[in-house]
Amino acid sequence: MAWRVASVAVGTFVVIVAMLAGMRAWSLSQGFAFQAIPGALPSATPGPPGGPGPQNILLLGVDAGPADATATPDPAAHLDGLSSVLLVHLPAERDGVEVSSIPASVPLRDDTTIGEALRSGGVTNAVEEAEGLLDTHIDHVAVIDDNAYAAVAEAFEGVTVTADSPFRTRDGGQVAAGTQRLDAAGVLAYLRPDPAQPGAEELAMRNQQELIESMLGEAVSGDTLTNLRLLADLSAEVNPYIAVDETLTPEYLAGLGLKLDDIRSDVVFDTFRG
């Protein structure tokens, strides 16, 4: 099953790519500057965003628990809480974006999972295992704390989703069926269905994709991309919750955004089945 959405990237991370495309007049030094993960890639062989060849970016979502205002967030310190795995594929022609959700429970070559690989060997090991599972080279990797979704929702004063049916959340709450506007806390609950209910992993992936679609719609609507105060506030809120390999710089992301700026209707979501 595929979902077609309107913008240039995925999750809070790709919302930021879309925004960077609209920040031509805004100094990158004032914008998004993520934490770096030293040695995150097995081999440093990424190509430039405007150069030839495809690009693959692995996004590892982690559940770090409630945000702590008294502590500095560190997404890479919560590798035992893998919540989502996404592969963003940019074709060589840069004429679209393909985003695959990968179930964290998909077995690897030795019957372990990406989550277990992440816990035992860190980000580098998870990248190597993902490359083996997908039979593809990964150019970049980002670790994203789920609290980044809440930060985006806060900046946008909520996001709108439509639940096909009611479901229990991991904290014992309930999400009603139908269209609703979620605040930051609601977004986190929406991302975290009760794992004891049937189909919880599939539901979590579908909910994540729907949240991304809604956030992307918010990002490219109205005057969002020209509202420098909103961009500054969003960058300050989101930056601490994203850690990336050392070559995944704001300049690289801005280059991707500019390259992909005209294909906002050509982003496709699907789910990897193994």
231 or 27: which leads in pLDDT: 231
pLDDT tens for 191-248 read 999 989 898 888 988 888 888 778 877 776 666 666 777 777 777 778 888 888 988 8
| CA 16-21-23 angle, 5° bins | 90
> Taking the mean position of all CA atoms in its chain, how far away is CA 245?
14
Candidates 75, 81, 114, 88; CA nearest to 212 is 88
The identity of residue 62, as a single letter, is V
Looking up tokens 């579908």 gives 206
What was the pLDDT predicted at 186?
A: 94
The phi and psi torsions of 199 (rounded to 5 degrees) equal: 75, 20
Q: Which residue has the higher pLDDT, 137 or 119?
A: 137
Per residue in 64-81, pLDDT (tens digit) is 666 554 455 566 665 667
Looking at the chain, how many residues does it have?
274
pLDDT higher than threshold 90 for residue 176: yes
**Tokens 């906002």 found at:** 264
Token pair belonging to 127: 């990248």
pLDDT given for residue 76 in this prediction: 60
Backbone angles phi, psi at 115, to 5 degrees: -60, -45
With a cut of 60, say whether residue 23 has pLDDT above it.
no
d(CA 246, CA 224): 28
- Please check the confidence at residue 97 and state whether its pLDDT lies above 80: no
pLDDT in the model for residue 174: 94
pLDDT of amino acid 67: 57
Q: What is the pTM of this model?
A: 0.81
Collect all residues with Cβ–Cβ distance below 8 Å to 188 and sequence separation of at least 6: 146, 147, 149, 150
Q: Which residues pair with 180 in a beta bridge?
A: 161
Query: 27 CB contacts (<8 Å, ≥6 apart)?
Result: none
Q: Residue 247 burial by CB count (10 A; 0-12/13-18/19+): exposed, middle or buried?
A: middle
pLDDT confidence of residue 16:
56
Q: Which residues pair with 161 in a beta bridge?
A: 180
Q: In one letter, which amino acid is 225?
A: L
CA torsion 21-87-29-23 (nearest 10°) is: 10
> For the purposes of burial, counting CB atoms within 10 Å of the CB of 96, is it exposed (0-12), middle (13-18) or buried (19 or more)?
middle
CA 166 – CA 175 distance, rounded (Å): 5
**Mean pLDDT of the region 109-122:** 80
Going by pLDDT thresholds of 50, 70 and 90, the confidence category of residue 94 is confident
Is 28 a residue whose pLDDT tops 60? no
Taking every pair of Cα atoms in the chain, the longest distance, rounded to a whole number of angstroms, is 49
Residue 169 has pLDDT above 90, yes or no: yes
CB 9 within 8 A of CB 97: yes
Model confidence over 120-158: pLDDT tens digits? 888 888 898 888 888 888 989 988 888 888 888 888 889
Residue 189 has pLDDT above 90, yes or no: yes
Tell me the C-alpha distance between 104 and 107, whole Å. Answer: 8
SS (H, E, C) 242-262: EEEECCCCHHHHHHHHHHHCC
What span, in angstroms and rounded, lies between the C-alpha atoms of 72 and 66? 13
Tell me the pLDDT of the chain averaged across its residues: 76
Return the structure tokens found at 102.
């990968």
